[in-house]
Amino acid sequence: MSSPTRAVGLVPHRDRVMAHELARVAATWFRERGVEVRVPAAEAEVAGLTEFGVASGEFAPGLDLVVSLGGDGTMLHAVDLVYPSAVPILGVNVGQLGYLTGVEPDELEPSMPRLLAGDYAVSDRMVLAVTSRQPGPRPVPGSRSTRPRSRSNGAVTSSASTCRSTAARSRRTRPTA
């Protein structure tokens, strides 16, 4: 059991209408109970949640929980947004496979009171921080091509690049029964 939730982040899939609808329901529900709600600005814009939109750098600090609404790609995006913070992430399967997600869409609303109360189990997951370098001229420091990227399920490199990875942990959430 975790401490009660005071701040929640929502990460809806950018193109899935059901993810947008679920995010709006969750945002309203949490706000009505005095919980701070944050949504990354780009996702907030397309999901009709602009009042909750924040810049990526302002998303993770102080969050107690993140709810990822999409598939495995959205879950990995949520990990990227909060890493290296140890913020638990609940994945709601609004995708096709949902290998990394914890609940189905119809389970979200019944789960929200338990999420608010901190009544959920957290399982730690491995995260790889990967830096890939291409041979040839060095890219500009801080550009997308030189920033380390984190992934919770792996990384692929070509034979033309060198790769350094570091293992770390992320947290995945599932409401307790």
Cα gap 62→85, rounded to integer Å: 9
Cβ-Cβ contacts under 8 Å for 134 (sequence gap 6 or more): 145, 160, 161
Cα gap 134→163, rounded to integer Å: 9
Q: Identify the three-state secondary structure at position 117.
A: helix
The residues annotated as belonging to the active site are 72
* Token pair for 128: 């790889």
Cα gap 177→155, rounded to integer Å: 34
